[in-house]
Amino acid sequence: WVLMVTAQTPTNIAVIKYWGKRDENLILPINDSISVTLDPNHLCTTTTVAVSPSFKQDRMWLNRKEISLSGGRYQNCLREIRNRACDVEDKKKGIKILKEDWGKLHLHIASYNNFPTAAGLASSAAGFACLVFALAKLMNLKEDQSQLSAIARQGSGSACRSLYGGFVKWIMGKEENGSDSLAVQLTDEKQWDDLVIVIAVVSSRQKETSSTSGMRESVKTSLLLQHRAKEIVPKRILQMEEAIKNCDFTSFAQLTCADSNQFHAVCMDSCPPIFYMNDTSHRIINIAEKWNRSEETPQVAYTFDAGPNAVLIARNRQTAALLIQRLLYYFPPNSDDLNSYVIGDKSIL
């Protein structure tokens, strides 16, 4: 027999960034962060997990290629989930797995991203969130989403925020064992649903410096990072929560753009400096800034993760249409600088 579960999880984009760990193994951050979860129809991971007595070892395929599960991050997630596994019974198939049997059974995992892996589109976020969610369903875990987020966090920090839709806060926590470093939902995907997210894919190539090694260098060498984590982010988190609660786009856009720019300033303040954005990214920032300045209130927010792709958040559908018109004007079809646009409403697991 084989027992299977399939889950689909969208990626999330931070509007107040996580950058820097205080514990590398448990993945504990040096500041809180806030993100918005995308529509699963646009950027998502689909993962099928299967268990069978005929499987001889744990195996995983990512985008149809077999990958190793020996890394600490996968092992940490698998161990945490197996430790919490419960009895499972499928009466139709006549299958009964007792909780003590899970340690002896092996898993096959197949995961598929519908967007470029490791190109700064937060694929690890959707990937680990989906893996943890699917395994939790298969093994009948009793933990709630927040507790599951603390397991996904041990796969990749940003993954903990993809367990919820809408706006999500990752609370950094204080405990050394990481038990209070988890995600909570600020507002669900039905609130503030006129926002539209447009992703301008500047490059789908794999990035040169991974987030993991980039933030390690920043923690070691950047003084700006220390100042940001202690003095700037705590205030910004409160302001961002207020902006989200009130659907205040002007404050939201100001905070989002400022935080993205400061994150990239921290990268440049690291030694050696890290450059994630390129000339096209800078041009997109200029286009958005000029447009916002020419109107009474900001129309679009921009944010860039560890790569050159622009995530643009438009005030509403009408603004999103104008935004795409503008992008097409500056980057005509077939332009070498921009590959495609991905459009997503903010959304949910």
User: Which spans of this chain sit near ligand DP6 (rule: CB under 6 A)?
Assistant: 14, 17-19, 27, 33, 122, 124, 156-158, 211-212, 305-306
Q: Judged by CB, which is closer to ligand DP6: 18, or 74?
A: 18
Q: Are 314 and 299 in contact (CB under 8 A)?
A: yes
For residue 229, give the amino acid letter.
A
Q: Judged by CB, which is closer to ligand DP6: 19, or 252?
A: 19
Q: Judged by CB, which is closer to ligand DP6: 165, or 319?
A: 165
Closest CA to 169 of 148, 146, 200, 137: 146
Phi, psi of 120 (to 5 degrees): 80, 20
Strands (E), the chain: 3-10, 12-16, 21-23, 28-29, 33-37, 44-52, 59-62, 65-67, 88-90, 95-97, 106-113, 167-171, 182-187, 196-201, 300-303, 310-314, 340-345
Question: Shortest Cβ distance from residue 51 to ligand DP6 (Å)?
Answer: 26
Question: Shortest Cβ distance from residue 216 to ligand DP6 (Å)?
Answer: 8
Closest residue to ligand DP6, judged by C-beta, is 157
Closest CA to 155 of 220, 111, 189, 197: 111
Q: Judged by CB, which is closer to ligand DP6: 27, or 135?
A: 27
Q: Are 104 and 98 in contact (CB under 8 A)?
A: no
Question: Shortest Cβ distance from residue 153 to ligand DP6 (Å)?
Answer: 8
Question: Shortest Cβ distance from residue 166 to ligand DP6 (Å)?
Answer: 16
Question: Shortest Cβ distance from residue 220 to ligand DP6 (Å)?
Answer: 14
Q: Judged by CB, which is closer to ligand DP6: 139, or 233?
A: 233
